[in-house]
Amino acid sequence: MKVVLRTPEREERELKGPKRVRQVLEELGIVPEGVIVARGEELLTLDDEVTDGDTIEVISAVSGGRA
């Protein structure tokens, strides 16, 4: 599967499926609380399974610097 990271810089990774979203994040070392995972327009929960043909996006929710 293709994983597009927007954290927030764009990066691409290839991972072997099938896997649960929770596992994908674990393998990439990403803390689940800081991101939303989407497949196209559909938002995924940590329990959802993604497979080899899928392209998913990991979008960072953390913004900062505000004084």
Partner 1 sequence: MKCRVCGKKAAVEVRRQGQAFCSEHYLEWFERQVERAIRRHRMLNEHDRVLVAVSGGKDSIALWEVLHRLGYATTGLHIQLGIDAYSQRALKATRAYAQNRGLPLIVVDLKEAYRLAIPELAELTRRRACSVCGLTKRYVMNRVAVEEGFDVVATGHNLDDEASVLLGNVLHWQTDALVRQGPVLPAKTKLAKRVKPLYLLTEREILAYTLLRRLPYQHEECPFAAGAKSLLYKEALNKLESAMPGTKQAFLEQYLKKIEPILKEGLPAGEIELKACERCGYPTTGEVCAFCKTWDHAYRWARKRAVLPDETRFEPKPALAFYAKTAADGG
Q: For binding to ligand SF4 (CB under 6 A), which residues are involved?
A: 65-67
Q: Extract the tokens encoding 45.
A: 């929960």
Torsion angles phi and psi, residue 19, rounded to 5 = -155, 155
Residue 33 binds to partner 1 (criterion: CB under 8 A): yes
Residue 53 or 67 with smaller CB distance to partner 1:
67
Residue 42 binds to partner 1 (criterion: CB under 8 A): yes
Name the β-bridge partners of 11: 5
Q: How far apart are CA 50 and CA 1, in angstroms?
A: 8
The residues of the shown chain that bind partner 1, judged by CB under 8 A, are: 6, 8, 31-36, 38, 42-48, 59, 61-67
